[in-house]
Each structure stands twice: as C-alpha cells, then as structure tokens.
Amino acid sequence: MSAELDALYQEIILDHYKNPHHAGLREPYEAEVHHVNPTCGDEVTLRVHLDGDRVVDVSYDALGCSISQASASVMTDLVIGRRVEEALAVHEEFLALMQGKGTVEPDEDVLEDGIAFAGVAKFPARVKCALLGWMAWKDATSQVLRNDNPQETA
C-alpha cells in the first residue's frame, strides 16, 4: 500500500509541493492565462515572459493538489532559460510520459526532476493534475507567438 503511494508521491514531488519553484505572479509578461480542471476545480493563473525565442520567465499562482502544484514547479525549472522550441520539445516528452500509461521510460537528461512523475502515468485520474500547468504554459506561449507573428494566423 505504501509502496504504491510512494511510486506516486516521490520525494521530489513532495519537495516541490512544499517548496514550489518560481511561484507567484511577476512582471513583465506578454501573456497571462487562467486554466482550470473543471472536474476537480484545480486552477492556475500563469504568465509567460519571452524575449525573442527565449523563455525568460514563467510565473504562476496555482491552487490544487500536490501533483498539480509540483508539476507546475518542475515545469518552470525545465522551461525557463530555454529556447521556446526546446521547451516545447520538453513539453512533448513530458506529455508522452504522462499519456504512456506507465509504459514510457522517462529520459532523465531531458526531464530532470520531471522523471518523478513517471508513477503518475499509472493513475489515470491524476494525469490531468500533472498536465494542468504544462497546458497553461503552452497556451500562454502560443498566445505570445501568435501576437508576435500575426501574419501566421491571418
């Protein structure tokens, strides 16, 4: 029973939950989004600050369970300072891990602390918790890119 729980609640996750990285809303930012998980009520307000193709800052205010909070924290570690394209590739990797039903072997070189969420993939009800912050980041980032390149969507 405890082993099953421990697979889900890795120490890394609990550490990020108790001491979330990059938490709080900061200026400047080019896009702010508010995402909710309608079934459980978890929510996140998230801001993205890009400089050209680089993710300079991601700040957020999140309400939710340990998994959603820790995932947002790990996500900021993984995307801040990266080029948008690289960060999106990490997002894809994390998404694949989460949707893999426990069959995907995580690549620590890419996902770093994100590998701690491998156990979450075996709990279908919690996958959406782990993805809340990531989806908000992707949404905010694509809003900035759209605004920067309006001709692409015209």
Partner 1 sequence: MTIPGLLPELEVIRKDFPILERTVAGGQPLVYLDSANTSQKPQCVIDSMVDHLERHNANISRAMHALGAEATEAFEGARDRVAAFVKAPSRDEVVFTKNASEALNLVANTLAWAKGPLAVGEGDEIVITEMEHHSNIVPWQLLAERTGATLRWFGLTDDGRLDLSGVDDLITERTKVVSLTWVSNMLGTINPVADIAARAREVGALVVVDASQAAPQLPVDVVASGADFVAFTGHKVVGPTGIGVLWGRREVLEALPPFLGGGEMIATVSMERSTWAGIPHKFEAGTPPIVEAVGLGAAVDYLDAVGMEAIHAHEQAITGYALEGLLSVPGLTVLGPQDAASRGGAVAFELAGVHPHDVAQVLDTRGIAVRAGHHCAKPAHARFGVQSSTRMSSYLYTTPAEIDALVEGLHYTRSYFKVG
- By the criterion CB under 8 A, which residues form the site for partner 1? 1-2, 4-5, 8-9, 14, 39-43, 63-67, 69, 123, 126, 129
118: CB partners within 8 A, 6+ apart? 97, 102, 104, 106
| Cβ atoms within 10 Å, residue 39 | 8
Provide the minimum distance between the beta carbon of 109 and partner 1 in the complex, in angstroms, as a whole number: 29
40 vs 110, beta carbon nearer partner 1: 40
Residue with tokens 């590998």: 115
Question: For 55, phi and psi rounded to 5 degrees?
Answer: -85, 105
Provide the minimum distance between the beta carbon of 139 and partner 1 in the complex, in angstroms, as a whole number: 21
Provide the minimum distance between the beta carbon of 92 and partner 1 in the complex, in angstroms, as a whole number: 25
The helix or strand, by DSSP H or E, that contains position 110, with its residue range, turns out to be: helix 108-111
15 vs 30, beta carbon nearer partner 1: 15
| Cβ atoms within 10 Å, residue 119 | 19
Provide the minimum distance between the beta carbon of 10 and partner 1 in the complex, in angstroms, as a whole number: 13
CB-based contact 120:12 (threshold 8 Å): no
Provide the minimum distance between the beta carbon of 55 and partner 1 in the complex, in angstroms, as a whole number: 28
23 vs 56, beta carbon nearer partner 1: 23
Using CA of residue 64, residue 134, residue 104, residue 100, what is the dihedral sign?
positive
The rounded distance, in Å, linking the Cα atoms of 42 and 61 is 11
11 vs 109, beta carbon nearer partner 1: 11
63 vs 89, beta carbon nearer partner 1: 63
